[in-house]
Amino acid sequence: MLISRLTGRGGGLAVSGLIAEVIAPDIYQHVGSTLKPDLVFVTGTNGKTSTTNLISEILAAKGAKVVSNHSGANIARGISGAYISSLFGSAFGGGARAGVFEVDEAVVPQLATAMRPSVQVFLNLSRDQLDRYGEIDRILDNWVKSITKARPGEEQALVVNADDPRLFPLVEGGNQSEVDVITFGLEEQPSFWKDFDYATDREFCVCGTIVEYRERFSGHLGDWFCSSCGRHRTRPDVTGRILESSQAGTTVEVSVRPVSEMRVFYVPQLGEYPAYNLLAAAAAAFKLDINLDVVEGSVNQAKAKFGRQEQFHYDDKVIRIWLAKNPRGLDEIFKALIVKEAKRQHLLFVLNSDVQDGKDVSWIYDANFESLRGRYRSLAVSGFRASDLSLRATVAGLENIETCDDIGGAMRASLDAMDGGEYLEIIASYTAMLEIRSIVAKLTDTAPFWK
């Protein structure tokens, strides 16, 4: 763990988790039983880390001692490593215990079977690192097969995004297994994003018919229905309406229908996905018997973390880091950026192709780079695959593209081109984000995330 932190490659959770697996093969059953009844899993293609951090803040505000892999180490060993790390910290200093874990899509069935979480949150499902995961149908099938009836005296619930037609089999599977299902979703898409152009696949219902939409909210998310078998988006238990998205953050009206509660929240992140993350957290809190007053206090104090729209101040300039690892997530970043003042933003794209990023970077052609035309003051690309980014930006008709393979050099050049009060928006793949965050921490005299 110490070596990983000193080299800037991570928090070392997976390493300690690997050792724990060797010493104690039943480590996951032990962690699960220790942290119940408030044991929450969060999974999905996009939004896992942010939602996990929100739910952790909510449970902490309730008074729980929360164990969480808040840095995003979401494979099995990262989760057991987070538990072991907590033994040397304050998580077990007395009081109720709770666990909130971000879980990689591929290991959900394994960990759900071993740990038996009280609540599983399913955010969304879209193509991501096909060279690693394969097609999303395989992931969904494994998720559904992992749903089992609760054991006597065991609490079990699914929190599912009702706007995602790909997740509807989870709703049906939960109902068939007599597991509580809580759904969340948006009321409508804000007018300022209605013209955004997504590159989306056709969605098919489980009956084989093409899914239709009364309204699309975000890519393949929306008010969907099947005209053949009658399946349709269920009315969400927790609903949201985005009132405003500005350069500083997003204002969302949240309603919990079963208890007729409504609050207006401010989230210090831009775009539609932060609203979905908030709704998922509110739905999980409802299932954990936490009211919106506690949720409101936690969310209003929450800050963006670990490369998920984190902001840093350098002199009188602002650096913001965005993690991008698939076309849907990148499109959501673009949507957030186009509502900002174009004359004040400088863009730096950084793309690597390590195993954690995904070896195949062709996915950048499925994201709407074209939406950025005329919406920046400067544009630079960097990383191992800088040339791929440069070509993609050129194909999109973007102009004045600066290419620099060295990430630190590209960042310094972008900062030099900025005036006071302007933003440098850094959009990076996972390993690039780790390097960038290390550079920015030194540049701004900020502690590394691991400390």
Cα radius of gyration rounded to whole Å, the chain: 21
Show the tokens assigned to 449.
């995330």
| Whether 297 and 341 share a structural domain | no
| Whether 235 and 258 share a structural domain | yes
* 448 falls within a domain: no
pLDDT of residue 193: 82
Choosing from 301, 335, 366, the residue where a domain stops is: 301
| Whether 374 and 415 share a structural domain | yes
| Whether 236 and 348 share a structural domain | no
**3-state DSSP assignment of residue 436:** helix
Structural domain for 421, as ranges: 308-443
Least confident of 95-104, 405-414, 434-443: 95-104
Choosing from 301, 323, 354, the residue where a domain stops is: 301
Peptide bond preceding 117: is omega within 30 degrees of 0, i.e. cis? no
Choosing from 253, 278, 301, the residue where a domain stops is: 301
* 449 falls within a domain: no
pTM, rounded to two decimals: 0.91
d(CA 418, CA 113): 51
The total number of structural domains that make up the chain = 2
* 44 falls within a domain: yes
Q: List, in sequence order, every beta strand (DSSP E) within 279-393.
A: 308-314, 317-323, 345-350, 378-382
DSSP state of 64: -
When pLDDT is averaged across residues 403-407 and rounded to a whole number, the result is 94
pLDDT of residue 98: 93
Greater pLDDT, 73 or 451: 73
| Whether 354 and 213 share a structural domain | no
For residue 252, report the phi and psi dihedrals to the nearest 5 degrees.
Answer: -130, 130
| Whether 279 and 358 share a structural domain | no
* 383 falls within a domain: yes
| Whether 99 and 203 share a structural domain | yes
DSSP state of 165: G
Mean pLDDT for all residues in the chain: 87
d(CA 318, CA 410): 16
Q: Is residue 384 within 8 Å of residue 413, measured between CB atoms?
A: no
pLDDT of residue 125: 93
Give 340's contacts (C-beta < 8 A, 6+ positions apart).
Answer: 247, 270, 375, 423
| Whether 274 and 362 share a structural domain | no
Looking up residue 429, the CATH number of its domain turns out to be 3.90.190.20
When pLDDT is averaged across residues 311-327 and rounded to a whole number, the result is 93
| Whether 281 and 314 share a structural domain | no
Amino acid letter, residue 84: I
In percent, the amount of the chain with pLDDT more than 70 equals 89
* 273 falls within a domain: yes
* 15 falls within a domain: yes
Per residue in 179-207, pLDDT (tens digit) is 999 999 999 988 878 778 776 767 889 89
Asked if pLDDT for residue 390 goes beyond 70, the answer is yes
- Please tell me which of 24-28, 132-136, 196-200, 429-433 the model is most confident about, judged by mean pLDDT: 429-433
Greater pLDDT, 306 or 321: 321
Which helix (H) or strand (E) covers residue 275, if one does?
helix 273-287
* 450 falls within a domain: no
pLDDT of residue 294: 93
Beta bridge partners of 67: 99
